[in-house]
């Protein structure tokens, strides 16, 4: 009874103290203090105690006296929308992931390119038809997007480029490495110059090198010098107690400048305001479509089916011999009826319609017992007012390449070869942006 009476006297102490306890350990301590005070409390009259006890309802558990937490409102995570790009250059800038190297060689190459704006302009102009495709392939593999600038170092973004070591195409594959990555090479078709096939092979090779070395500067050095050579250089350094990173290696002159060139172009084209202001945007959409090429049709006839100047068509289809009609095909090992050509997206539907018309004509000829037509049937053109097919002078001589010299203009070049400025522009679409010293022009003469 004394215990009950003591509890009644402790009611107010309990109610105020428990709120301050705040944790199970503090509650246990509080419980101990209550027991001590209850044992020491003087007895009270039974009638008063019974009234106080009746008014008190003690909890079954001490935890029930803890303050109830406020309900937590669920806050939705902010929705981050993927950026929609209109310019491939900005997409490359945001997707760049290779660390910069603090090297005087990088600064030297930046100064070199800035002092030669015509070279910088030339390689960026040549990259326009191919840049979106390369960036798409890089993004699909999760690779740094500034690797799309590597063909500027390798070939100046010229699909027809051929080095003294017989390396060919945008990505400069030597024959042996090209074959190792499935790039067919014969007299009619060289897949090293095929933008689609060679880009896929080059990125596969770069990914292999990165997985091998775990470092992009080393992977790039190996792309230029060879993985065995880089691996041996690393082992030599380790044997001497030296570092095995890119900066520590003794490299050939070309390889030593290779990565700095790429990083210099990256800084200029992506992060230098003056260069970015001069750089033309590249639409973030496909420039070309991959379409089936009719068998036994040479590129000149295919260009007519696409209603395109021959030179523009050859720029996209450098892998095919201009005079070959065997249909060796685009891609790795593709041949025969599955041969393909690249056609600007805006010409794709017209090309497909003209190819169907050509095939129907050939089928009718074969049914009538005649030999299949070796040339394309007269194509339908998109707009007869814009097309010059059928109105050009027939230039029967072999095509020549003219390299622009200082002081030359379209007028002087046209006069020299007895042709018109309009024809030069027709055969060389890039001259619309102006002539550069050293620029190569594809010409025909009588």
Measuring CA to CA, which residue among 230, 181, 210 is closest to residue 98? Answer: 210
Q: Which two tokens stand for residue 440?
A: 């190569």
Measuring CA to CA, which residue among 409, 405, 410 is closest to residue 421? Answer: 410
Q: How far apart are CA 213 and CA 227, in angstroms?
A: 9
Q: Please name the residue that has the structure tokens 């570092």.
A: 243
What is the SS3 assignment for 302? helix
Q: How far apart are CA 225 and CA 94, in angstroms?
A: 29
Q: How far apart are CA 110 and CA 212, in angstroms?
A: 30
Q: Which two tokens stand for residue 237?
A: 């350094």
| Sign of the CA dihedral running 319, 320, 321, 326 | positive
Q: How far apart are CA 361 and CA 376, in angstroms?
A: 9
Query: For residue 298, what are the CA distances in angstroms to 81, 235, 325, 427, 442?
Result: 47, 51, 4, 17, 18
DSSP characters for 406-446?
TT--HHHHHHHHT--HHHHHHH-GGGGG---TT-EEEE---
Q: Please name the residue that has the structure tokens 């002081």.
A: 407
Q: Which of 70, 136, 154, 235 is catalytic?
A: 154
Convert 381-406 into a string of H (helix), E (strand) and C (coil): CCCCCCCCCCCCCCCCCCCEEEECCC
Q: How far apart are CA 238 and CA 242, in angstroms?
A: 5
Q: How far apart are CA 103 and CA 107, in angstroms?
A: 7
**DSSP tag of 190:** B
- 146 flagged as catalytic: no
Q: Which residues pair with 443 in a beta bridge?
A: 400
| Helix axes 216-225 and 195-213, enclosed angle (nearest 10) | 120
Measuring CA to CA, which residue among 287, 445, 446, 308 is closest to residue 376? Answer: 308
Residues with a catalytic annotation lie at 154
């Amino acid at each position: 009874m004394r215990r009950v009476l003591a509890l009644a006297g402790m009611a107010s102490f309990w109610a105020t103290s428990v709120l301050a306890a705040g944790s199970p350990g503090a509650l246990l301590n509080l419980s101990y203090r209550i027991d001590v005070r209850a044992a020491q409390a003087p007895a009270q009259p039974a009638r008063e105690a019974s009234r106080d006890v009746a008014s008190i309802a003690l909890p079954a558990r001490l935890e029930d006296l803890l303050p109830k937490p406020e309900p937590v409102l669920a806050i939705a995570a902010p929705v981050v929308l993927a950026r929609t790009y209109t310019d491939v250059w900005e997409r490359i800038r945001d997707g760049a992931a290779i660390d910069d190297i603090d090297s005087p060689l990088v600064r030297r190459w930046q100064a070199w390119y800035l002092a030669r704006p015509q070279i910088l302009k030339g390689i960026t102009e040549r990259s326009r038809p191919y840049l979106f495709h390369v960036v798409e392939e890089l993004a699909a593999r999760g690779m740094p997007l500034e690797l799309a600038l590597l063909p500027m170092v390798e070939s100046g973004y010229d699909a027809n480029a051929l080095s003294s070591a017989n390396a060919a195409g945008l990505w400069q594959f030597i024959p042996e490495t090209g074959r190792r990555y499935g790039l067919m090479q014969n007299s009619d078709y060289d897949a090293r110059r095929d933008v689609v096939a060679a880009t896929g092979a080059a990125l596969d090779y770069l990914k292999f090198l990165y997985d091998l070395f775990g470092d992009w500067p080393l992977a790039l050095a190996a792309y230029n010098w060879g993985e065995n050579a880089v691996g041996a250089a690393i082992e030599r350094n380790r044997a001497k107690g030296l570092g095995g990173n890119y900066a520590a290696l003794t490299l050939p002159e070309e390889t030593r400048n290779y990565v700095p060139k790429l990083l210099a172009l990256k800084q200029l084209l992506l992060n230098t305001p003056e260069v970015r202001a001069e750089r033309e945007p590249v639409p973030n959409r496909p420039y070309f479509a991959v379409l089936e090429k009719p068998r036994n049709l040479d590129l000149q006839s295919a260009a007519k089916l696409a209603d395109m100047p021959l030179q523009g068509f050859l720029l996209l289809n450098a892998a095919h011999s201009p005079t070959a009609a065997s249909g060796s095909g685009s891609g790795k090992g593709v041949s025969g009826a599955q041969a393909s050509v690249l056609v600007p997206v805006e010409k794709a539907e017209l090309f497909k319609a003209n190819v169907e018309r050509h095939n129907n004509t050939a089928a009718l000829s074969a049914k009538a017992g005649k030999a299949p037509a070796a040339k394309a049937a007269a194509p339908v053109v998109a707009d007869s007012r814009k097309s010059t097919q059928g109105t050009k002078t027939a230039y029967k001589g072999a095509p020549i390449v003219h390299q622009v010299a200082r002081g030359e203009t379209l007028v002087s070049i046209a006069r020299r070869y007895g042709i018109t400025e309009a024809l030069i522009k027709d055969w060389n679409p890039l001259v619309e942006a102006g002539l550069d010293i050293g620029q190569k022009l594809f010409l025909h003469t009588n």
